[in-house]
């Protein structure tokens, strides 16, 4: 079947099989920040934004994305650039494997709620699996970024 969607601001038209997952589609388009992890929609490594809402691309068929706007980290570099250093400063990027999912969800969170509480941050990022840092570093990094934006 033929689908058309917007990927990182660019119209894409491609033939896909009926069972092709969105993760495989975006990776075939060169978006390698989207990682394959658990393949059970439990780790968050494959997070993309579909119409500005985070979705797990390992559990969405590419055909379901037809007509939608899909964003990966490759298309959000400028937006992510401001705060990823704050996460790194807290030692929260140890192996780096989970970072794209955390960054995608943080972007979505801050678009929805520019001044979240710690509990709101934890709730929004709960679907991301990190085996290295224990999540506190990501929380401290996001909090440091928000404080920097406020001039605190």
Distance CA 152, CA 12 (A): 43
Instruction: Domain ranges for the chain, please list them.
Output: 2-74, 76-150
Smallest Cα–Cα separation from 22: which of 49, 51, 58, 50? 58
pTM of the predicted protein model: 0.89
In terms of CATH, what superfamily is 76-150? [2Fe-2S]-binding domain (1.10.150.120)
Higher per-residue pLDDT: 20 or 125: 20
Higher per-residue pLDDT: 26 or 93: 26
Q: Tell me, which fold does domain 2-74 have in CATH?
A: Ubiquitin-like (UB roll) (3.10.20)
């Amino acid at each position: 079947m033929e689908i058309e969607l917007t990927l990182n601001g660019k119209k894409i038209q491609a033939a896909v099989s009926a069972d092709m997952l969105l993760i495989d589609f975006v990776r075939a388009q060169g978006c390698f920040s989207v990682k394959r992890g658990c393949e059970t929609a439990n780790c968050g490594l494959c997070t993309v934004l579909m119409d500005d809402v985070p979705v797990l691309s390992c559990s969405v068929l590419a055909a379901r994305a037809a007509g939608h706007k899909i964003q990966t980290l490759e298309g959000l570099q400028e937006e992510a650039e401001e705060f990823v250093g704050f996460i790194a400063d807290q030692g929260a990027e140890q192996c780096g494997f989970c970072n794209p999912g955390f960054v995608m969800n943080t972007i979505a969170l801050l678009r929805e709620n520019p001044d979240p509480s710690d509990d709101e941050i934890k709730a929004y990022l709960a679907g991301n699996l990190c085996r290295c840092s224990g999540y506190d570093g990501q929380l401290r990094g996001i909090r440091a970024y928000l404080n920097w934006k406020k001039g605190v």
